[in-house]
Structure 1
Amino acid sequence: MSVIGYCRVSTNDQTITNQQQQIAESGYQVTKWFTDNAVSGAVKASERQGFSDMLNYVREGDTLVCVAIDRLGRNTIDVLQTVELLQSKGVKVISLREGFDLSTPVGKAMLTMMAGLASLEKDLIAERRAAGIKRAKSEGVHCGRPRKATSEQVTQMINAGMSPREIMSQLQISKASFYRLKQGS
């Protein structure tokens, strides 16, 4: 019966030290740490090296502690499957931020609701982003990758007697972009 700590950070700019400190300050005497550095929560838990190693290590009666359920994943289904897999192995899952034991019936219900709310929030953000892009486009704002060249530039260069190769080189565009812009004029 060991206490296992799991920490994950999404970028190289972040460190797992704060998460390890939070777990230790909460009174857990961690026997073994498993970590994933610079791994997005969008990557399925089972596909992360540190998490996979932890799954192979844990035994019935162990307790897994993490600072928040979003360290396990951001996708509702993945988080629920991950917790169910751990529970099927007889592992108790504790999330500090949410303040509940995910292996109890109340903890599972809370996990389901919180994961659902996190998924809803992600969808709402995407909806607001799409509305913002639509509004910006209606106002004539270019969205997306910056344009390297316009059809007007290509037409002017052709009229100035430049060859397609010279135009592509000067504007730093591909052959496909050149012909697409040429047709747009």
Structure 2
Amino acid sequence: MGIVVGYLRVSSEKQNTESQRAIIESKFKVERWYEDHATSGVIKGIDRRALGELLNYVREGDTVVVYAIDRLGRNTIDVLNTVERLKLNGVSLVSIREGFDLTSDHGKLLLTMLAGLAELERKNIKARQMSGINRAKAEGKSLGRRKTIDNRAVLIWRSENNASISMTAEHFGISSSSVKRACS
């Protein structure tokens, strides 16, 4: 008989895994936890630190529990590859929000549909974001951080003082890469 392993993931530093953990703990006695913090679901599962460790740790008979399928990833193929790897190793996968065992045939069908919907939603979010950026540009709004370095002043001071990049950076209290950008 294997153990129950929990996997948690949040996308940003402002989020935490407490609610995911509480919901999983209300239904399962988890013996080992893996958590990825400030990790996008777009990053391949195997490339995420904690999920990669989990995939290398679990053994036949173990059960991996996630709060929701989108915690595994936002790309249908990647999520399916993760599920297939678990299945080949004899590991069960349960998603609480969707309410099913993802290693059964019915579960795999639903998984494919849900992962596809998660990927579609990610693309829709990106399209809305680009639409907003394009609209702001068309309205003449400046995007990004406000420029705080006067490139011309940096270039002139560096030339007049025959200063190195590091000396210039120190004089203005900026990074070396900022000096390079200002002088290019």
Which residue in the other structure is 1:34 paired with?
Answer: 33
Please report the TM-score for the alignment, with normalisation by the length of structure 2: 0.74
Q: Partners of 2:14 and 2:130 in 1: how far apart?
A: 29
Q: Kindly provide the CA deviation profile for residues 49-104 of structure 1, in whole angstroms up to 9, marking residues without a partner as x.
A: 43333323322232221111122222222111000100111111110011111111
Contact conserved, 1:69 with 1:95, CA < 8 A, in 2? yes
Cα distance in 2 for partners of 1:164, 1:175 equals: 13
Q: 1:99 to 1:150 in 2, by over 3 A?
A: same
1: CA distance between counterparts of 2:128 and 2:75?
Answer: 19
Name the Cα RMSD after superposition.
2.9
- How many equivalent pairs are there? 168
Give me the whole-angstrom Cα distance separating, in 2, the residues matched to 1:79 and 1:146: 39
Classify 1:144/1:39 alpha carbon distance in 2 versus 1 (closer, same or farther; 3 Å): closer
Q: Distance in 2 between matches of 1:170 and 1:12?
A: 31
Distance 1:131 1:105 in 2: 39
- Could you tell me which runs of 5 or more consecutive residues in structure 1 were left unpaired when the two chains were aligned: 180-185
Give the Cα–Cα distance (whole angstroms) in 1 for the partners of residues 98 and 21 of structure 2.
Answer: 16
Answer yes or no: is the 8 Å Cα contact 1:6–1:51 preserved in 2.
no
Overall identity of the aligned pairs, in %: 41
Q: Which amino acid aligns with 1:18?
A: S
Residues 66 and 3 (structure 1), Cα distance of their counterparts in 2 relative to 1, 3 Å cut: farther
Structure 1 residues 135 and 25: alpha-carbon distance in aligned structure 2, compared to 1, 3 A threshold:
same
Separation (CA, whole Å) in 2 of partners of 1:110 and 1:140: 45
Residue of structure 2 equivalent to 1:183: none
Q: How far apart are residue 2 of structure 1 and its match? A: 2.2
Question: What is the TM-score when the length of structure 1 is the normalising length?
Answer: 0.74
**Structure with bigger gyration radius:** 1
Q: 1:4–1:33: 8 Å Cα contact kept in structure 2?
A: yes
- Between 1:93-102 and 1:44-53, the stretch displaced more is 44-53
- Within-5 A mapping of 1:1-185: 1-10=1-10, 11=12, 14-26=15-27, 28-30=28-30, 32-40=31-39, 41-148=41-148, 154=152, 163-165=156-158, 174=179, 176-177=181-182
